[in-house]
Every structure is written in structure tokens, then in C-alpha cells.
Amino acid sequence: MTTNTEIRPFRIEVSDADLADLRDRLARARWPQHPSGEDWSRGVPTSYLRDLAEYWGTGFDWRAQEAALNEIPQFVTTIDGQDIHFLHVRSARPDATPLVLTHGWPSSFVEFLDVLEPLSADFHLVVPTLPGYGFSTPVADSGWGNLFRVASAWDELMRRLGYDRYAAHGTDAGSGVSLLLPMVAPGRVLGVHLTGTSPAMPFGPPIDTAGLDEADRRRAEHFNHVQQDGLGYLHLQATRPQTLAYSLNDSPVGQLAWIVEKFREWTDPAAELPDDAVSRDRLLTAVSVFWFTGAGASSAHAVYEGMQVYRQMAAAQQDHASAPPAARTGYAVFAGDDTIRSLVDPAGHVEHWSEFDRGGHFPAMEVPDLLSADIKAFFAPPSP
């Protein structure tokens, strides 16, 4: 780890020139035809994206969002040669438990904005941005897609903030980071709460549905369908991130479509459109952070590096599937999730398991009430 342990205050300050450039690019977008009508079977429909892009360019108030974000205490520190951006929201309770919240792809600290207030009643919150995402850019060197390296950096961050012991919550790739924290910091992690976990290897064989109950069978069938029809984005990022990077870095419409498609596919199934699950302004704030920081390209490379490590770890994970977790573990499963308990917890070691009929892959944005309540319930001290 670096010997420079300075923690520096941070403010988001997108230049007028960059804001004008975004609006100009949106106004000059060259739109493709949509040959199959206006459904989502071939990707994001042109009519939907044109309407959203028009709002992004002429109706969305980035300056208001920027000012609101700057009301939250933000900092940067350099760890292992990489600038790490993070939020640090201290609870009014001096004895509050430190809690590190880790996002996944395609996301950033913006994902957790709606849970900051309810969670800060009980926790000191640390919300770091993964290297290559948001304001943890540019990436200083390769290798930050390795989640072991990220987990080690998170533990160093918590040390710098003076937290000897802490709790962790993660979603998507952030779940991987959170699961690794007790391994890289034995004895320091009080517990791990997870959402958005994959039930099986993304490029592996379909899940065998025999013996599953009705709810888990539906999740397995959905996962198997996604294996066949919904992993194009992952194949590209896991194999040719630089080729994709040119489009994401040069076209705001391309970046918008790349993220919006995932919000359509991964959010609550009851939501017809992405902005039925997450408000337009929140969705476009998340996309804007990607655009202004060039994170579409660098996060694609992080996915590429992470998948190389994930493939290597897959066999080892199967060998150790029945081993107790390194720290007490809890899961929250939402309506749009494919998480199956018999696959992620075959030996029954997970002590907290919640299932909800609302929400999806981005519960902190979709159902912050449910997520914050479940995190509080998991980490609550035992009754006397």
C-alpha cells in the first residue's frame, strides 16, 4: 500500500465546456433504424431512447444534481497508487457501527444515495467508488478488476478512517468485494450483507431445475434464459473491452443505451420501463457520472480483468462451497433477482435470508426502504 495516507476533500465540478459538449453530442446524434418495431427484443427501442436522450439534453438539470451531490461529504485518498473516491457520512450516534457499501456494474456511489439517510441513523457510512468507475478515475494501472485487490484497498481505507472493525454490504461485483473482505482482513469484519449475487458461473452450463421449489425454479429458468439471450454485454466487456470503449467514450447515446438496457432487464419485473423502476433524474445522474468521467471504457476493462480472475476462482469456489463463510453472512433477494439459496448456501451456513416481492438488481435505488430495513435487521445487536 502507498505511504501517502492523506485524505483529501472532494467536490464534483463538471466544467461548462464538458456540459455543453454533452448537449451538443446529444443534439447531433445519428439515430439508427429499429427494424423490428418498438419492442425490446433486439435491444433498446429507438423511440424510448430518443425521448430519454432528449430529456437528458434539454430537460435534465445536471447542475442541480451536482449541487445536491456536493452536499454529501466526499473525499479522495490514494491507495496502492490509485485515487479512490468515497462518501463518508457519519452517524449522529457516536457508537454507530461503521458500514462500507460497495456498488457493482453499471453503477457508482449514486446507487446508494437514497439509503444514506435511513442507514446513517445506525451506521457510519463509507461508500467507495470502485477503481475505473465514477470519480475513482483515471485508472493508474491495470489489475484493479481483481476484487481481492479492491477488498485490500477497502480495508486500508477503513483503517485510515480509524475503523478497527466494520460491517459490509455489497451488490453485484460489490458482493464479491464484500465476501472477500473477511479473507483479506480476518477478525475485522463484523458481518457481510449481500444482494444481486449470481447463482452460477455466467458462462457456465444452465442450472439444473430438478428438485427446486417453485420460486427457485422460476429464478433458475430466468437465469438460464439470460444465459442464452442476455449476456452479450458481458461477452463484449469480458473479451474485447477496448473495442467497445471507443463507442462508450465517444457517444453519450451509446453510453446511455448500454446502461439503460440493464436497468430494463434487471429491475423489478413489474416495472415496464427503466424509469418506472428508478426515477429519470436518478437514472440520468448515474449515467452522467459515467459520461463525465469516461467510466464506460475503464469499467469495461475492470469487468474484463475481473472475469479473468473469476474464471480462475470458479473451480476453487465449487471445492469450497460447503465451507463456512469467513464472517456471518446475510442475503436479501428481491423480485428481479436470480439468487437461489440451495446454490449459494448448500450447507446452510447463511444465518439471515430475506426474500421480497418488490425490487430488483438495484434495490438501493428501487426499494431503499426494504434494503435499509433488512441491513439494519441483519446487523442489529441480539436481543438480551
Which domains, and CATH codes, for the chain? 48-379 (3.40.50.1820)
Cis preceding-peptide flag for 182 (omega within 30 of 0) = no
pLDDT at 313: 60
Interior angle at CA 204, CA 341 and CA 183, nearest 5: 55
pLDDT at 383: 61
Q: Which amino acid is at 13?
A: E
pLDDT at 345: 87
Interior angle at CA 132, CA 131 and CA 138, nearest 5: 100
CA 97 from chain centre, in angstroms, equals: 22
pLDDT at 2: 46
Mind listing the pLDDT tens digit of every residue in the chain (384 residues)? 445 899 999 999 999 999 999 999 999 999 998 787 778 988 999 999 999 999 999 999 999 999 999 999 999 999 999 999 999 999 999 999 999 999 999 999 999 999 999 999 999 999 999 999 999 999 999 999 999 999 999 999 999 999 999 999 999 999 999 999 999 999 999 999 999 988 766 777 888 888 888 888 888 888 888 877 888 899 999 999 999 999 999 999 999 999 999 999 999 999 999 999 999 999 999 999 999 999 999 999 999 998 877 765 655 555 555 667 788 999 999 999 999 988 888 888 999 999 999 999 999 999 999 999 999 999 998 766
- List alpha helices for 28-110, DSSP H: 46-58, 62-69
Cβ-proximal residues to 259 (8 Å cutoff; 6+ apart), any chain: 106, 286, 287, 290
pLDDT at 152: 97
Cβ-proximal residues to 125 (8 Å cutoff; 6+ apart), any chain: 87, 88, 89, 90, 91, 99, 101, 112, 116, 119
pLDDT at 230: 83
Distances (CA, A) of 47 to 60, 77, 271: 18, 42, 18
Would you tell me the crossing angle of helices 46-58 and 252-266 to the nearest 10 degrees?
Answer: 120
pLDDT at 363: 98
Q: Is the dihedral of CA 131, 116, 269, 45 positive or negative?
A: negative
pLDDT at 321: 56
Collapsing DSSP to helix, strand or coil, 188 comes out as: coil
